Structure 1
Amino acid sequence: MTTSSVDTCSSDSKNALLKLAPVEAILFDVDGTLCDSDPLHHYAFREMLLEIGFNGGVPIDEEFFIKNIAGKHNDDIARALFPDDFERGLKFTDDKETYFRRLVKEQLKPVDGLHKLVKWVKDHGLKRAAVTNAPRANAELMISMLGLTEFFQAIIIGSECEHAKPHPEPYLKGLEAIGASKEHTFIFEDSPSGIKAGVAAGMPVIGLSTRNPEDFLMEAKPTFLIKNYEDPKLWDALEELERQGGIKTQV
């Protein structure tokens, strides 16, 4: 991303959220948005693909992971990795998720500043839901490991919808589940697939450059990008929203 594009994002960030006033809800992706889980996914895929001699026994690199795996639904990953044997692909991704959950229990860490933001959301009584393409077992485990089981009022799973991200349906179902309006809700996302889903659902999306390159994320048209939840750009926007009376505290 160029310096000028970063500056533009920064100058637009306050106005983007002010247009939502009064904000009543926030929707969160899970993988890469609540926690830095992509390295665990990458490791699990790399090791398991090596075992079966995928790519001639050459380990998949981060570029391959970002392009073909990160943020995608397992059905799409199965088709990408095993184009001639979808059923094998589904079995492989199921086994990979089991391996991933073992890694989560040992190594999962929150995105920097997550608990600061969680406190802010709670203090303002905003509605909130998690919306993810992860399998439910993964999502519930990660949310539990982060201490957020009681925080979320709903968890929407892409595979339990007719269409997963990048289709907007999961985010629209998230709104419905917590009784919120898209005119007063924004989203946190870290993948192009998720950002596209949120934008298609008609809501501003704040993108996290947790792992994906900023240029790659900007192609999906987030409202602006932050590095993590400590980013001054985010707090400048939230503080301006408060100053303008743009928070709809739930009673």
Structure 2
Amino acid sequence: MTMTASLENCAESNSSLARVAPIEAVLFDIDGTLCDSDPLHYYAFREMLQEIGFNEGKPITEEFFIDTVAGKHNDDIALALFPADLERGLKFVDDKEAMFRKLAAEQLKPLNGLDKVRKWIEERGLKRAAVTNAPRANAELMISILGLKDFFQAVIVGSECEHAKPHPDPYLKGLEALIASKDHTFVFEDSVSGIKAGVAAGMPVVGLATRNPEHLLWEANPAFLIKDYDDPKLWAALEELDKAGAPRR
């Protein structure tokens, strides 16, 4: 058995969300979790890096994007891209985010089934927060475009915490903002760094295999992986969670 298969089998055997019953709160990442935004980020990075002659003018690959950019905080991305000139790197990622916001305003769409899971959460009166490594301007724009401005009760941004993801700080701050217990909360995440952050904060994480390779996501130890919010695995788990939290007669 390969290590990846072993990790997957281990996660599948512990895929229940019932341990957080009765459910109190749900925490969401934003990029790649509420919406398939990675193609827009990739396009912006690829075009702008090629324009300045990065990588000898050759376009960056999706593999490079996944390894260097996806789910990471902008300070870390700037350092990875421009290790000898952090100031230039920070200016570059700021400009790239402006380009992303322009693209997002024109093209951003919710992941399949997002409205369905939103209704499930609202019907149960659960607390909810968005927890992201994205800049606040990006986070608030995406939430607004997706029609979730009134849905989230808090928006936690990695750069406003002591440490960004993959550290648990942003998720712990999300729990604090909602006055919620990690023992009765679970997380939706799509990146390795985000899953690691949620797990380190002591919560089960439902991983979304939106763009990142599944074998990498499994290594971060999610409870289970889903394709989107229409995935039958998610709804089976939520049904089990409901039953576990129902009052005993």
Displacement after TM superposition at 1:11 (Å): 4.8
Q: Which residue does the alignment assign to 1:87?
A: 87
Q: Which residue does the alignment assign to 1:196?
A: 196
CA deviation vs aligned residue, 1:85-144 (integer Å, no higher than 9, x gap): 000000000000000000000100111111100010000110000000000000000000
- Mark the CA change 1:150 to 1:60 in structure 2 (over 3 Å): closer, same or farther: same
Q: Which residue does the alignment assign to 1:215?
A: 215
Q: 2:15 aligns with which of 13, 16, 27?
A: 13
- Alignment-mate amino acid for residue 12 of structure 1: N
Displacement after TM superposition at 1:244 (Å): 2.5
Alignment identity in percent?
72
CA deviation vs aligned residue, 1:167-209 (integer Å, no higher than 9, x gap): 1100000000011000110000000000111111111111100
Q: Which residue does the alignment assign to 2:128?
A: 128
Do 2:12 and 2:223's aligned partners in 1 also have CA atoms closer than 8 Å? no
Displacement after TM superposition at 1:246 (Å): 5.1
Whole-angstrom CA distance in 2 between matches of 1:79 and 1:12: 37
Q: Which residue does the alignment assign to 1:224?
A: 224
Whole-angstrom CA distance in 2 between matches of 1:18 and 1:9: 14
- Mark the CA change 1:71 to 1:246 in structure 2 (over 3 Å): closer, same or farther: farther
- Alignment-mate amino acid for residue 111 of structure 1: L
Work out whether 1:138 is the aligned partner of 2:138: yes
Whole-angstrom CA distance in 2 between matches of 1:86 and 1:246: 53
CA deviation vs aligned residue, 1:24-75 (integer Å, no higher than 9, x gap): 0000000000000000000000000010000011100100000000000000
Displacement after TM superposition at 1:242 (Å): 1.3
Instruction: Provide structure 2 residue ranges, at least 5 long, that are not aligned to the other structure.
Output: none
- Alignment-mate amino acid for residue 116 of structure 2: K
Displacement after TM superposition at 1:152 (Å): 0.2
Q: Which residue does the alignment assign to 2:25?
A: 25
The TM-score, its normalising length taken from structure 1, stands at 0.94
Aligned runs of 1:52-201 on 2, under 5 Å?
A: 52-201=52-201
Do 2:8 and 2:218's aligned partners in 1 also have CA atoms closer than 8 Å? no
- Alignment-mate amino acid for residue 125 of structure 1: G
> Across the two proteins, how many residue pairs are aligned to each other?
245
SS of 1:244 mapped into structure 2: helix
SS of 2:141 mapped into structure 1: helix
Instruction: Provide structure 1 residue ranges, at least 5 long, that are not aligned to the other structure.
Output: none
Whole-angstrom CA distance in 2 between matches of 1:7 and 1:82: 39
- Structure 1: which 4+ aligned runs deviate by more than 6 Å? 1-5
- Alignment-mate amino acid for residue 157 of structure 2: I
- Mark the CA change 1:166 to 1:8 in structure 2 (over 3 Å): closer, same or farther: closer
